[in-house]
Amino acid sequence: MNIASKYSSKVALLVVLMFTIQGFSFSDPEDDGPVDTKTEVDEYILHHIKDSHDFHLFSYSNDAGERKHIGFPLPVILWSSNGLVTFMSSEFHHDDAGQVLVERKGVKFAKIHTKIYELDAGASTVSFDEEHHATNGYKVLDFSITKSAFGILLVGLLMLLGFGGLARQYKKGKSIPTGFARVLEPLVIYVRDEIAKPNIGEKKYRKFTGYLLTVFFFIWILNLLGLTPFGFNVTGQLAVTAALAIFTLIIYTISGNKEYWMHILWMPGVPVLIKPVLAIIELAGALLIKPFSLLVRLFANISAGHIVVMSLIAIMFNLKESLGVAGATGLSFILSFLIMLIEFLVAFLQAYIFTMLSALFIGMAVAEHDHDHEHDAHGHDVPDAEDVRADFI
């Protein structure tokens, strides 16, 4: 057996296992049974793409008909009216009204989906008005290690170990890394030569390559984790993509040279009366539109991918009566398998696009324009042959 067939069989086995576990775990940890109606499926998909305070792997029913949930709890860290409160998410329990409660330091806390409320004195459950505002409780400051925060810490640790090993081998003078570092080196070179250099330039790319490498691998690995049955959807959280976009915004805003800001605040070559209008438009583009496009593109594509995959898996529940269990399961598996293959490409593509656009924005801010062109009788630049050839191409 050659190497290609050896690894392709392992990949196929992994994908089959992935869909088996996903289909097996298609149940809501806060419900008592499997998801088997359209409404429950819709609610479960929305629940799946949100963050959570525990780590739910899968559920099953035992011989006695009891629903068992397999996973592990995560630390809950709250700032309440009595100060800092900490406990594990497994201490939440269901009350008679179906809400998830826990009591600490004489104060009751209720968890409604992903939000935690502190109940008023004497209240046993959270009540809401018509606009879904709590009438006998309020949201607390939540610093918990949620599933998304756990994923971020996990990926950060993996990157620290992987790239730390690569850096140590470089410091030892090894021209060709060994072990897993040998897999990382071509990817590092790719980001440097295909993203950083072309967009930032030979003179200044080194200063920003570290950030671009971090962003690229951070997004890519998180996207890949999101394709596993463990329920990660970190890059599908708006807060995460917004934070990444703000990092890029801060870097190109601080690094922008004088010429960059002059083109934004006082555009040369246009009438004076139009310059203030253009300044407002350019400032909005630099400070709002660019980072907004970064965060929305990543958030929307990753979230849409998760929704599509989970919707296709739900076919086995919605069509099991008309097609039979075997037919619905087979159709769901085939469609989900094909979409999952596309999602592997999307995982890399979204990391590449975010990193490439970040490098492009940084390159625009630090670019040094050459003004040593010839000028015609009206003072306009006369392009040389290389400029004309480049524009034509």
pLDDT score of 309: 75
pLDDT score of 30: 45
CA atoms within 13 A on the CB side of 78: 27
42 Cβ neighbours under 8 A, 6+ residues apart: none
Give the residues of the chain that fall short of pLDDT 70: 1-44, 46-48, 58-60, 65, 67, 95-99, 313-329, 332, 369-393
pLDDT score of 335: 74
Domain boundaries, the chain: 75-144, 148-366
Closest C-alpha to 366, from 291, 254, 276, 264: 254
Cα angle vertex 317, ends 316, 318, to 5°?
100
pLDDT score of 387: 41
Is the full-model pTM beyond 0.85?
Answer: no
pLDDT score of 318: 66
Burial of 338 (0-12, 13-18, 19+ CB in 10 A): exposed
pLDDT score of 1: 43
Closest C-alpha to 264, from 284, 279, 286, 285: 279
Assign 147 to helix, strand or coil.
Answer: helix
pLDDT score of 59: 67
